[in-house]
Structures are given as C-alpha cells and as structure tokens.
A = this chain, B = another copy of it.
Amino acid sequence: MRESNVLSGTLTALAEEKKYNSIKDILRTMNPADIAELFGAVPEQTLPILFRLLSQDQAAETFSEMDSDQQQTLIEVFSDRELREVVNELCADDAADLVDDMPANVVKRILRQADPEMRQMINELLKYPEDTAGSIMTPEFVRLNPDMTVDEAVRSIRSTGLEKETINDCYITDGTSRLTGTVSIRTLIVSGGGERIRDIMEENVIFVDAKEDQEEVARVFDKYNLMVLPVVDAERHLVGIITVDDVLDVLKKETTEDMEIMAAMMPSDRPYIKTSVLELWKNRIPWLLALMISATVTGTIISRYEDALAACVTLTAYIPMLMDTGGNSGSQSSTSVIRALSLHELDFSDGLKVIWKEARVAVLCGVTLAAVNFGKLMLFDRVGMQVAAAVCCTMVVTVLVSKMVGGILPLAAKKLRFDPAVMASPLITTVVDAMSLMIYFQFAQAFLGL
C-alpha cells in the first residue's frame, strides 16, 4: 500500500510537469493489476491523463481491474471512440460486470458503443441472476466440431484463439450445440494431426447448470481440481465457461459473507473501507437490536431470583464468568460445525455423531474448567464450600449444554434451509446465557437452600 502511494505521487508529479514519455516508460514495465492498484491512489483529475498514456494492450485489462468508482470517472471523460476501444477489448464477463455496476445513463452509453456481438454477449450474461454460475461465466470459449481433424482444430484455434478467455480446454458440441465432449490443448498437441476430434475427446465431461449457485460452482472446482468448467442451460446447450480466477473471487466473497454473518452482521458487497457509516449502521443494527431484545430473557430470569441474589450477593460476582465460559464453549462447537458444513464434511445425517463427540469433549472441558475454578474459589476468593460447589457444578453442566446447543443448532439450521452461519457466536451466546443462569440458580438453591 505504501509502495503504491510513493509511486502514485511520482506519477502525479510527472503528469503535472507533462513528462508523458517518462510516465509511459514507467507504466510499460508494469502489470495491469499493479497499474490499477496504483491508479487507485492517484487524484481523480490526474487519472484520465495517466490512463491515456497506457499502451492499447494494457488499457482494457487495467480498466477491468479498477474499482467501479474509478471506471465511472474514466467513462465520464472518455470520448465515444475511447469508450468503444476499451469496451470492445474487455472480456465479455468483465463487460457484463461493468454494466451491472454502472448507473443507467452510463450503461446506455456503454451499450451504444459496444459492437453488436459484444452487446449480445452482455445482454445474454445479464439474464442470469446474481450469484449463479451464469452470472460469472464468459461466452468466449473455443468450440470445436467432433468431425474436425486435430490439424483443422489447431488451425481454428489459431484464427480465433486470441479473443477467447482461454484455449487450454476446448469444447465439442453437436449440431444442436449440446455439449458432447472436451479436449485439452495438451491432448491436441500430443495427438497426430490427422486424428479426429471425436476419437480423442473426453466424453465424461464435468459441467454445471447456469442456474447453479456460485458456491456450489466453487465446490466443483475444488473437488475436481479444475481450471475451467463448462456451463450448460436446461437443455444441456453449452452457454459459457467459468475460469478458476473467477472462482477465487467467489471464495473470497463467500468467506467474507460467512464471517460477517457469524459476527451478527448483514453481509455486504463493498470493502469495509469503502462502506459508508450509514451503510455499516444498517448492516449492524438489526442483529444488535434482535439480540438485545432476546437478552431480555436473561433479565427476566435474574429478576425472578432477585430474592436469592439479595440473600447471597456473592453469587452475582460469578454470573459473567459462567455466562462467558458458556458462550465461548458454545461458539467453539458451533464454529467447528458451521465450517465443516460449509466444506461439506458434515451433513444433517451426521447429527448423532456430532452430539456424541461434542458431549465427550464438553465433559473433558467442563471438568478441567471446574477443577481450576474450584482451586481459585477456595484459595483466592475464599468463598464457602456451598458457593464453590454451586459455581463448579454450574460450570460442568453449562459447558455440556453449551457445546450440545452449539453443535446442534447449525445442523438444525442446515436442515431447515437457513444459513448455518447465523448460528454462530452471538446467537449461541444469547441462548446459552439464559440457560447458564437457570442452571446456576438451580444449583444455588439446591446447595445454599435459598
């Protein structure tokens, strides 16, 4: 971050001095992703000057790596010709993303400048709902005919390959453009020139439906170690391909979303630093309110036992520690189960195994914690035997209950088709708090006769 700040300062200064050739020299050695990062730190009015100094090779790729705010800034100063050059050089999936991100008037200009072919591809891609396979695919793939020879196939790739997202895997379709096979460039290279594609193609093709969720797409990539995955429509017509670099983005986004949900926030699409204060408030307040209101239950429980507490105020001192330990124990279990569910290592049918495992871990943890606590209560706090017994018994039972609840709730959520991530720390804590108080007061009454 610091490095790009220094360099962006240099470029801005050079732009003010109109030393355009030096700027070109610097930019020429750089990679589009690095240039885009650099441009992120440049004043808005300097951005168009710098962008126009990029070579034509770099311009479109750099543009597609930029933030949508900066893309909009550029489009607004672009002449029609400049816009046309950039838009038609973009990969179709990047162009569709761009159209998705821009306000209506900018979209109109973009579509007007797009070639008919590009316009059609953009419109095709925009038909698919967000977060589906269709929304992250590109229609720019190499399509081969099963009757071609290897030599014909290579000639065909040579003539069109430069415009395709990748040529590493080529797809074979029948007369109705149904997907029938795939052949890797490696197979083409090692095969004899006269062999027919139908004889060397792999017919057992892994593919996804365009309406499939992108999280499932990521799972397929991971399971089969893929670089590219073909996408078909309901009739198995080949409509596009997904490349693994888009899957990395999906994984990153889904992980962020999971973590946000697990911390009781509404998931957000924008990076933290670019999210406005009001938006952050909107994402955070619903859960805070819901959890605060749920916590009323704990208040009610305490009120019901007010007399007991008044008789032995010392008991109050251990409430936070017991509640926290219960919450932490439960969060550990729920996080383990949520993560295992999202990696498909577990499903609902493993419920009994999970409960049995958590129960045993809970007993081990509960007894350890109670033992340490008992020592502390007797040696440092010097409380009576009855209070110590109440606290330690509560500890064992609370940890047991918390870990069971933490293990079961995500599985139940999965079964009920909720997102298991909702059952993370904050919700578990609220549920466990109420239970640990009840357990505590029961033991206190039993041991202290309150």
Seen from chain A, the residues whose Cβ lies within 8 Å of a Cβ on chain B are 1-2, 29-31, 33, 37, 154, 157-158, 161-162, 166-168, 185-186, 189-190, 204, 206, 218, 221-227, 243-245, 247-249, 251-252, 255-256, 258-260, 262-265, 271-273, 277-278, 280-281, 284-285, 287-289, 291-293, 295-296, 298-300, 302-303, 306, 309-310, 313-314, 316-321, 323-325, 327-329, 331-332, 334-340, 343-347, 349-350, 353, 357, 360-361, 364-365, 368-369, 372-373, 376, 381, 399, 424-426, 429-430, 433, 437
Contacts and interface: CB of A to CB of B under 8 A. Distances in A.
Contacts of A218: 248
Given A325-B288, A329-B288, A339 B295 contact: no
Contacts of A260: 335-336, 339
Contacts of A285: 364-365, 368-369
A323 B325 contact: no
Contacts of A346: 272-273
Contacts of A314: 303, 306
B316 A223 contact: no
B245 A227 contact: yes
Quickly give the copy total for this chain. 2
16 contacts: A154-B189, A225-B245, A260-B339, A272-B336, A277-B361, A284-B332, A288-B368, A288-B369, A289-B372, A295-B321, A298-B324, A299-B321, A319-B319, A327-B426, A328-B426, A328-B429
A331 B361 contact: no
B376 A265 contact: no
B221 A272 contact: no
A157 B187 CA distance: 11
Contacts of A30: 204
A170 to B, nearest CB: 11
Given A161-B189, A317-B299, A335-B265, A324 B433 contact: yes
B369 A289 contact: yes
B33 A224 contact: yes
A427 to B, nearest CB: 10
Nearest to A281: B364
B298 A321 contact: yes
A317 B303 contact: yes
Given A287-B328, A292-B321, 16 more contacts: A168-B185, A227-B227, A227-B244, A259-B335, A260-B336, A272-B336, A273-B345, A281-B364, A284-B329, A284-B361, A285-B369, A292-B324, A319-B320, A328-B429, A425-B425, A425-B426
A209 to B, nearest CB: 17
B168 A288 contact: no
